[in-house]
Structures are given as C-alpha cells and as structure tokens.
Amino acid sequence: MKMLSYFLAIGNVLNGGTNKGQADGFELTVLGRVHTFRDNHGMSILQYVCLKMKQTDEAFPEKIEAIAKSVQVRSTDTGILKRIADEVQSKAS
C-alpha cells in the first residue's frame, strides 16, 4: 500500500545518518505510534501522510472509512492472535 511506503520513506529521512536509516521495512507496531510523531507545526506524521494520500487520490477518505468499517478489532482478538503467534513461534524453534 502506498501509505506504508510514505511511512517508510519518512522514517528513513528521520533516521538518516543512524543505523536505522535506509531501512527496507519496519515493524507493524510502529504504525500504532505514527500519530505521536509531530513536526514543528504540530502536524503528526499520520496527518501528513493522509493529506498526501488525499492529494493523490480524492477517494482516499472513503476508502479509509470502508477499511475501518470492515476491520473491527477487539482486544480479545489481539489476545487470540498473540497466542497463535506464540504457538507458531514455539513450534518453529
């Protein structure tokens, strides 16, 4: 998805000159924090990326709304997913 490539590119710029710069990817847990990283004017990276996405695709807000409606995650769902991931990881060891 184009949005993820924006987050990766911004992260690479912010981490330029460190061992985290020029990354090929990032952990998905980072997505839960993109609203906390802000520029000098108070705009979050999430707001910036959404603005850029809207500029390139006028239907972007409707697409995001449709995704949000189709992905209803409960805390119990994340617990189940973690347990399954732990089981898979222990079997792989």
Q: How far apart are CA 37 and CA 45, in angstroms?
A: 6
Quickly state the pLDDT bin for 76 (edges 50, 70, 90): low
52: Cβ contacts below 8 Å, ≥ 6 apart: 6
Query: Is the pLDDT confidence value at 28 over 70?
Result: yes
- The predicted pLDDT at position 74 comes to 62
- The predicted pLDDT at position 72 comes to 66
Query: Is the pLDDT confidence value at 40 over 90?
Result: yes
Rounded mean pLDDT of 6-27?
88
Alpha helices, H only, 1-93:
2-14, 45-56, 60-70, 75-92
Three-class SS of residue 21? Answer: coil
Query: Is the pLDDT confidence value at 92 over 70?
Result: no
